[in-house]
Structure 1
Amino acid sequence: MSSYDIRKTALSVETVWHERGPRLEKPLLVGTTVAVVANPFAGRYEPDLMPFQASLRELGRELASALIAQLGGAERIEAYGKGIIIGEDGELEHGAVWHEAGGQGMRELLGQPKAVVPAAKTIGGPGTRLMVPIGHIHACYVRSHFGTAEMTLWDAPRRNEIAFGLVMATGGRPHARIGGLAASDISVHDGQR
């Protein structure tokens, strides 16, 4: 597999000013970008998914680049995640190719952060709502940045498609106050603390 067939893409940004507490000086931006791609393995078993995974690396970079630009630049990104919705004629493993391809696309453009990229995947049809987990890009124990972003398209994925998505945010939850490691206290830079 040397290419992929994109039917459509979407990019959306939520602007959050408060969560019933004081209005933020700068709003939290939470962005989601999705590409709906034909599933070349719909309806059949394919033993070797690695060429398809490799072909999606460029898609990961393209989606990450568009989302980073929409959110104001790489230096503003503090949290990330990825999501996959596989159409009914596919299998979860067809979507698992995105773990490497989508995650690496974000890491390359964000300066190689070490924290795990949270992910969710499911099988579903058009309009499926997937809540994608997000976490801090440099340390996975920063509780203030635990969150979710919704990934959905009204007409996708169709039975023979996969919706590959990336999520990024410019900060943590507004008014976070449950303790734990603060983003300002990240010290080890190994993705943990």
Structure 2
Amino acid sequence: MSLVNVRKIKLDVEEVWHEGGKRLGEPLVIAVATAIVANPYAGRYEPDLLPFMSALRELGADLSLRLVAQLGGISKVQAYGKGAIVGEDGELEHGAVWHEAGGWAMRETLGGPKAIVPSAKTIGGVGSRLMVPLGHIQASYVRSHFGTCEVTVWDGPRRNEIAFALAMATGGRVHARLGGLQASEVRGLDGLR
């Protein structure tokens, strides 16, 4: 029996045309895919979480492919992030399994980008909101791509569930103008500069 039992998947897509300045010719698109999954360790301590982490890779791949399709292909993706909301009968470490599983899946789908995948996790009840950080996929210091997106599901996670989310965006903040390394200036593939 699989450790990953998905109750539902939610896909959110947001188009941002302006932030008070001039309207863009093409919007910034941010997409978030969230899966509500039964927590196999709810209500008990489990010393070995690695089997669950490994099993979640397939879910991460599925969510990643959904996001890429929604954004119009791999070449459109400039930013990413991930997050988890653990229901009340779980522990924060149950959400931390998503660091490797979700991050690996996005990197695999996107062809191996080098920058760290920003992440957030929390423990919360039904309808909890989590702001997931976004960052440029190739260089962590591209200031314009520091952003956030919201993860929320109206009926989850329940006490014995976890909401696992992946996020991708077609660019950085609309009207970003605070300097720093520009996306067009990224030369290295070390994830830093």
* Structure 1 residue ranges (4+ consecutive) displaced by more than 2 angstroms after TM superposition: none
Letter in 2 for 1:113: P
Letter in 2 for 1:5: N
What's the CA shift for 1:188? Answer: 1.3
CA distance in 2, matches of 1:67, 1:11: 8
3-state DSSP of counterpart to 1:56: helix
3-state DSSP of counterpart to 2:122: strand
* Structure 1 residue 59 corresponds to structure 2 residue 59: yes
Indicate conservation of the 8 Å contact 1:2/1:51, yes or no: no
Residue aligning to 2:129: 129
CA distance in 2, matches of 1:117, 1:2: 26
* Structure 1 residue 13 corresponds to structure 2 residue 3: no
Identity of aligned residues (%): 67
Indicate conservation of the 8 Å contact 1:33/1:166, yes or no: yes
Residue aligning to 2:89: 89
Residue aligning to 2:116: 116
Matched residue count? 193
Q: Deviations over 1:81-133 (max 9, x none)?
A: 00100000000001110000001111011110010000000000111010000
CA distance in 2, matches of 1:43, 1:12: 30
CA distance in 1, matches of 2:130, 2:3: 26
Residue aligning to 1:104: 104
Residue aligning to 1:152: 152
TM-score by length of 1: 0.99
Task: Compute the RMSD of aligned alpha carbons.
Answer: 0.8
Residue aligning to 1:181: 181
Segments of structure 2 that go 5 or more residues without pairing to the other structure are none
Residue aligning to 1:77: 77
